[in-house]
Structure 1
């Protein structure tokens, strides 16, 4: 049974690619860069457990807020014989039109020629790095970061440059200094600007403006990964990159319905320079031909029904309640033993151990906590170079306040055990 953080960790492939030793078929050199995902692997690990576990690990919407009954009804109404054949690679025309229509009432309107429907946000990231990154290119990532994104860049041979984050997101002054020290400019800058995964922080408008300026100075594309921007539940909205620099060819935006509707739909989209559209279609045709057609029809039907805004308002209220409940539970059970971020939206708290507890490895804490019945993602899994052994990510969105309190109490017991080990 899988019970340790090592069982989550992607296995190294160094020395395997291109070798036929021990009967292994020779692999492409790029196979060494396929690092996998600790986050996604946690799903298999948790499924293998036989005891009760409070699950703060996966960044998934709360099951009870997914509009399953509406999806079932839409599946009956929206599906016909045209739903079960191949669709246009760029996406179903009706869904693209619905996206354009709903965007018209926002601060970031778009046009059909800018949109390509993808199989979730991850395919959008894959398309971005496939189009822009050659082996050996420098790619900037936040530190900590969503390592499924950085792992995709690695799969295309990127050299990663980790840039620290603080409460205002990526430290753009540090970025400029680190790029200068690297002696070469980045091909791409990967950022999650709103309620960042895993830290929950938001990139300030001042830094967004500065980042666009640096991208133009260096000729770098900004890969703008924003799954959580529609889930702001408090605070003032920050202008997006498309508002700061409209129709900018150096901004490649990745979006998804996974966090606002349901991850199992596997429907997302990219918003990019129209001159890239045929290249995106060509690249996607080599992946999956088209995004799941029946699910595109369900999403279109949900948007057309007029229920999206009410659904988002409900999510914002619920997730604020759940964030507050997690922070209150942390204060009650852990007190000043930890410091957390205070996100104004999204799914995540970033927790850093304090004082003598900071000597505890969160990778070891993960193993003890799993035995106690609570799961999270350790900090080193959220840094390509394995930083943040004194920190971890908690998802507050997936659990009720009552269940959250049970999980945090178990986490406190696990921390006590880890401290006792010395």
Structure 2
């Protein structure tokens, strides 16, 4: 649904406020810096094949940068990937066999659950609340399934699509359960560096350092530029060569010029400055979206209040809950606003009364216009339903 919506959006000719795609605004990408780096630092070695595990200068820059964060790591744990999606694919390729049980959050990132399904996994949807995945519910769900999971796919910070963050207590319990079941935690965290309010929650790597059952997937797509297609995985050194071998069979190496530019961007200290700037922007945009929605729709919806990331998760209430968000998408597109319907985030197509809005890519003024169009679309849809 997400990919088909992207294609549909690309074909539209009228003005559309784009709350659908989870990506930074074009104007927030540091294009001028990349242009200068490309001119001054790319050379013939930037345009040949690179090492499958990643360019040495990027691995070194990444280790140095992460040493200043809550997720310090070492060279022998890292493999550079073509964005976060390749990291998820590598995790499933290595750990998931046909028929294996994989726990996924419900709702969850469609392409993540679909990757597990593409390797033959049986998906077990687990509920969420304001503190993220309800980890306490997992033993009963696993017992009902009649077998232990092979993997647990979780987005711990500012989850896509809900915006919620998994509590520290639940993270600790999830690690315990993973060890009880000998299940891999696929720790997909594209949004962690984008916290703009509140306190950091310790990550899996912090709670259980060098844990062989934690496979961490990270990307520059959300914090820098999605078109770079540069990310990384952080995992047990004992399986690093297996990760490299699996990646070698996929694409030989990640885009070398993009790796060299990203390495220089980090080395110069530009990444830290860039993150400070966009955190402030995203906080303002989240507040603008929540205020506009509260003013225009009030008790007709409930919405999450994330402390970082990109997304608000809306649930239609009362009579509006009878409106299908999938059908509403088409009405809204005609009215000039795009979102992703809730059913796109469930393998069993739940959440037809919900929708995901991205606040990161629109200015407060555009957000207000988009919310006005969304409200008009909901009014039109309800008039048809009733």
TM-score tier after normalising by the smaller chain length: over 0.9
Q: Distance in 1 between matches of 2:4 and 2:81?
A: 22
Q: Distance in 2 between matches of 1:299 and 1:144?
A: 32
Q: Do the aligned residues in 2 keep the contact of 1:40 with 1:58 (CA within 8 Å)?
A: no
1:357 equivalent in alignment to 2:323: no
Using the TM superposition, give the Cα deviation of residue 40 of structure 1 relative to its aligned residue in structure 2, in angstroms: 2.3
1:93 equivalent in alignment to 2:56: yes
Residue 75 of structure 2: aligned partner: 112
Q: Distance in 1 between matches of 2:260 and 2:131?
A: 38
Using the TM superposition, give the Cα deviation of residue 110 of structure 1 relative to its aligned residue in structure 2, in angstroms: 0.3
Q: Distance in 2 between matches of 1:364 and 1:104?
A: 47
Residue 164 of structure 2: aligned partner: 201
What's the CA shift string for 1:63-116, capped at 9, x where partnerless? Answer: 111100000011111211100000000000000000001111122110000000
Q: Distance in 2 between matches of 1:397 and 1:310?
A: 18
What's the CA shift string for 1:34-72, capped at 9, x where partnerless? Answer: xxxx21222210111121111100000121111000000
Consecutive unaligned residues of structure 1, counting only runs of 5 or more, are: 1-37
Number of aligned residue pairs: 385
Q: Distance in 2 between matches of 1:395 and 1:59?
A: 6
Name which of 362, 365, 368 aligns with 1:402: 365
What's the CA shift string for 1:276-326, capped at 9, x where partnerless? Answer: 111111111111000000000000000011111111111110000000000
Residue 84 of structure 2: aligned partner: 121
Residue 385 of structure 1: aligned partner: 348
Name which of 342, 350, 356 aligns with 2:305: 342
Q: Give the secondary structure class of the aligned counterpart of 1:131.
A: helix
Residue 417 of structure 1: aligned partner: 380
Residue 309 of structure 1: aligned partner: 272
Name which of 329, 336, 339 aligns with 1:366: 329
Q: Distance in 1 between matches of 2:354 and 2:319?
A: 13
Query: What TM-score do you get using the length of structure 1 for normalisation?
Result: 0.91
1:181 equivalent in alignment to 2:144: yes
1:172 equivalent in alignment to 2:135: yes
What's the CA shift string for 1:333-366, capped at 9, x where partnerless? Answer: 1111000000000000000001111111111111
Q: Distance in 1 between matches of 2:179 and 2:375?
A: 47
Using the TM superposition, give the Cα deviation of residue 174 of structure 1 relative to its aligned residue in structure 2, in angstroms: 1.4
Greater RCO (Cα-Cα under 8 Å, separation 6 or more):
2
Q: Distance in 2 between matches of 1:346 and 1:379?
A: 18
Residue 62 of structure 1: aligned partner: 25
Residue 79 of structure 1: aligned partner: 42
What's the CA shift string for 1:353-404, capped at 9, x where partnerless? Answer: 0111111111111111111111100000110100001000000000111011
Using the TM superposition, give the Cα deviation of residue 128 of structure 1 relative to its aligned residue in structure 2, in angstroms: 0.2
Q: Distance in 2 between matches of 1:41 and 1:115?
A: 33
Consecutive unaligned residues of structure 2, counting only runs of 5 or more, are: none
Q: Distance in 2 between matches of 1:312 and 1:343?
A: 17
Coordinate RMSD, CA, aligned: 0.6
